[in-house]
Structure 1
């Protein structure tokens, strides 16, 4: 890479994660690691410190300020600040994805209800014959419920498996967000709760249409 404003070139040998504030165009300069011989005018020094116990961060900062003096330290960035900044960026993305997810779930519920209602209207004669030969309204309702709950359960399980296996491979911030989510403590619970909620929601919309099927009168 060529350093802007100079003819000096730097060779990238790796990527390092640090707690320093991230680069933002127009707000703060980027951070680069280089050998002392590659820097003509340092103008300052950046020291990265990894602690054995992350809980000692505040104490370590206080000791550094005490030993070196407040005038010798321009800025201290801790891992808590870096984590809070990263979570702040991902929180908005999570809220947007959650909003779209709720909208998609509501649309799926209306679609399921409409599809089942259409099927019922197309099979009114068959339902009437079934009730004429002895099927009770509850049995007719259960036929539709079991069939469509099976479809919903199959779709929810397939979606959870695909998200878990291939979600991180999606390019861009969506894949990065899935990678972060898979490392969070509530990941396993959400992986079961969200599909279960979707199945229950679809079951509720299915039940309304199936209840209408149970009210179809038998043929005389």
Structure 2
């Protein structure tokens, strides 16, 4: 039976269903590590049995960390007939008495029955030390860097085209129209951009995971993500389109 305090806070999907004995709810960080969403099917290691993810929920317990802290799963008894361990959450009327409650539990149940104890102070410390905000800040700086790179590309292309003013005059003198002048520069820079984008994508795909250190590890993990193939085509395509737009503006002025 569910305790009187209710159930963990769901962030996606729904809670356990009596009519679905193989349905489970995953803790948020564990679901993120498994790339699992409600409706996905998980296979128990070492068996052919599958479980269906019904929902994803937050928990005040210590969060999942590969190799250090096991993940938390809520499941009906039928889904885990022989559990290796259980997690029992207690919400105290007076949080200050946490240490006393832990001591009483160990005394009554015995030290051998309790494998690990985590308190709300530990959970709060982990939540405050979460690197999600740091990731957002780094992403914001990354967008700023991309914008600065775009302005640099625009300036470089404009300067390069202005350096050909004498050639442009010669082209016009022999009968080139302004539209033809624009197309000459546009096709030239689009060819450069397309060649560079294809070479960069091929290099990242073939050699990215072989770079020593964390960068290579990160690329290897990224290559296993579901959106890897789409990003591998979309990012170079966006770069080519941006360079084309920048070149078109500078070439139009030259024309």
Q: Same fold (TM over 0.5)?
A: yes
Whether 1:109 and 2:109 are equivalent positions in the alignment is no
1:55 matched residue in structure 2: 51
Structure showing greater relative contact order (alpha-carbon pairs closer than 8 Å, 6 or more residues apart):
1
Structure 1, 177-186 or 58-67: larger mean CA deviation: 58-67
d(CA) in 2 for partners of 1:138, 1:211: 8
Seen in structure 2, the aligned counterparts of structure 1 residues 93 and 168 have a Cα distance that, compared at 3 Å, is: farther
Query: How well do the aligned residues superpose, as a CA RMSD in angstroms?
Result: 3.8
1:124 matched residue in structure 2: 165
Cα offset for 1:204? 1.2
Query: Does the CA-based 8 Å contact 1:160-1:191 persist in structure 2?
Result: yes
CA deviations over 1:112-166 (Å, ceiling 9, x no partner): 3222222232222221231232211111111111111111111111111111111
CA deviations over 1:56-79 (Å, ceiling 9, x no partner): 66346753459999764646xxxx
d(CA) in 1 for partners of 2:210, 2:172: 51
Whether 1:141 and 2:141 are equivalent positions in the alignment is no
Secondary structure of the 1:55 match is: strand
Unaligned 5+ residue runs, structure 2? 1-28, 30-43, 53-72, 89-108, 117-129
d(CA) in 2 for partners of 1:130, 1:69: 79
CA deviations over 1:84-130 (Å, ceiling 9, x no partner): xxxx879966973x556544543443233222222232222221231
Structure 1, 50-59 or 143-152: larger mean CA deviation: 50-59
Seen in structure 2, the aligned counterparts of structure 1 residues 192 and 67 have a Cα distance that, compared at 3 Å, is: closer
Alignment of 1:35-74 (within 5 A): 50-55=46-51, 58-59=75-76, 62-64=80-82, 72=113, 74=115
Cα offset for 1:208? 1.2
CA deviations over 1:15-48 (Å, ceiling 9, x no partner): xxxxxx9xxxxxxxxxxxxxxxxxxxxxxxxxx9
| Count of paired positions | 156
Cα offset for 1:179? 1.1
